[in-house]
């Protein structure tokens, strides 16, 4: 038989567990790889529940608010009433707020991965694959062939460098330790700035990744154009596409080791931006490792 004290503890922190699980489930439903339909919904809910159970003992910003007084001190020093009363309008609003936090974290990961897909889209047309746009089951969007290739490579690099470790520890666990919906609302300027800068960096990273191939294809097109002017009898149109495709593939093959390093730096910079947001709007935590 369960001890009464243990049962009371479970019931006392049940609302906190639910809030954390909602945040985890919202993040999982948006994050690439985890959000794909290939992952069963039951597995997503189970992962969210396990994640909430694992981080519950360290969720001090929630535990303080679940005390009898219900008063929690935010980073700015204000005292806010954040009591968790199940089956109340306040608790329903808190659930919505936790879902918003999870969606923001997952959406920023989507922005990071969109840079690689966008890089492939930049030179697909010049390469001759502009009409090869099909449904990408990984990104769950219509994506040209090279965009799908870069997206797949970025997913493999994400797994190789321990991306899920960073996502659930540096991304999710730190968020549970530092921020709640009140601090998110108070620091909304920083959140908007992070999302705007992430979108700007998306195109910058995509251009940097695709620039060597774009430049090579531009020179190839310029060369074939000069040849067609110098020798009009040559059907350069039928020869130009194979030349562009071969040149692009050779360059991708030669630069793939450098691209993987660039992909890893982009992913690490994205997680660093998320943790920077936590330090700006969240509750400070003790220094140390995970």
Q: What is the pLDDT along the chain (290 residues), one digit of tens a residue?
A: 445 654 555 566 777 888 888 999 999 988 888 887 778 889 888 888 888 888 877 775 555 544 444 444 433 344 344 556 667 777 788 888 889 888 988 888 888 888 888 887 777 777 766 655 665 555 556 667 777 788 888 888 888 888 888 888 878 888 888 887 888 888 888 888 888 888 888 888 888 888 888 888 888 777 777 777 776 666 666 666 777 778 878 888 887 788 788 888 888 888 888 888 888 877 765 544 44
**Which residues touch 179 (CB under 8 Å, ≥6 apart)?**
61, 101, 187, 278, 281, 282, 283
Half-sphere exposure for 77 (CA within 13 Å, toward CB): 0
Task: Give the DSSP H or E segment for 73.
Answer: strand 71-73
Burial of 83 per CB tally in 10 Å (0-12, 13-18, 19+): middle
CA distance linking residue 8 with residue 2, whole number of Å = 10
CB atoms within 10 A of CB 36: 12
Strand ranges in 110-226 using DSSP code E only, listed in sequence order: 134-136, 141-143
């Amino acid at each position: 038989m369960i001890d009464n004290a243990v049962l009371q503890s479970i019931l006392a922190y049940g609302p906190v567990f639910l809030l954390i699980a909602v945040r985890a489930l919202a993040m999982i439903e948006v994050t690439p790889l985890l959000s794909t339909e290939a992952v069963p919904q039951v597995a997503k809910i189970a992962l969210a529940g396990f994640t909430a159970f694992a981080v519950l003992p360290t969720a001090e910003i929630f535990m303080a608010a679940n005390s009898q007084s219900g008063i929690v001190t935010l980073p700015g020093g204000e005292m806010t009433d954040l009591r968790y009363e199940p089956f109340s309008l306040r608790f329903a609003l808190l659930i919505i707020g936790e879902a918003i936090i999870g969606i923001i974290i997952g959406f920023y990961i989507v922005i990071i991965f969109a840079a690689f897909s966008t890089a492939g889209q930049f030179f697909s047309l010049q390469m001759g694959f502009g009409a090869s746009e099909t449904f990408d089951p990984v990104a769950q969007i219509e994506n040209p062939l090279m965009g799908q290739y870069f997206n797949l490579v970025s997913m493999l690099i994400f797994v190789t460098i321990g991306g899920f470790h960073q996502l659930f520890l540096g991304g999710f666990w730190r968020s549970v330790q530092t921020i709640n919906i009140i601090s998110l609302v108070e620091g909304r300027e920083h959140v908007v700035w992070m999302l705007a800068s992430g979108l700007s960096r998306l195109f910058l990273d995509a251009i940097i990744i695709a620039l060597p191939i774009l430049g090579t294809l531009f020179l190839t097109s310029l060369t074939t154009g000069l040849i067609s002017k110098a020798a009009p009898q040559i059907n350069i149109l039928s020869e130009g596409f194979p030349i562009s495709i071969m040149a692009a593939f050779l360059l991708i093959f030669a630069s793939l080791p450098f691209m993987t390093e660039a992909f890893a730096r982009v992913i690490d910079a994205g997680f660093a931006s998320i943790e920077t947001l936590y330090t700006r709007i969240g509750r400070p935590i003790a220094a140390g490792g995970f």
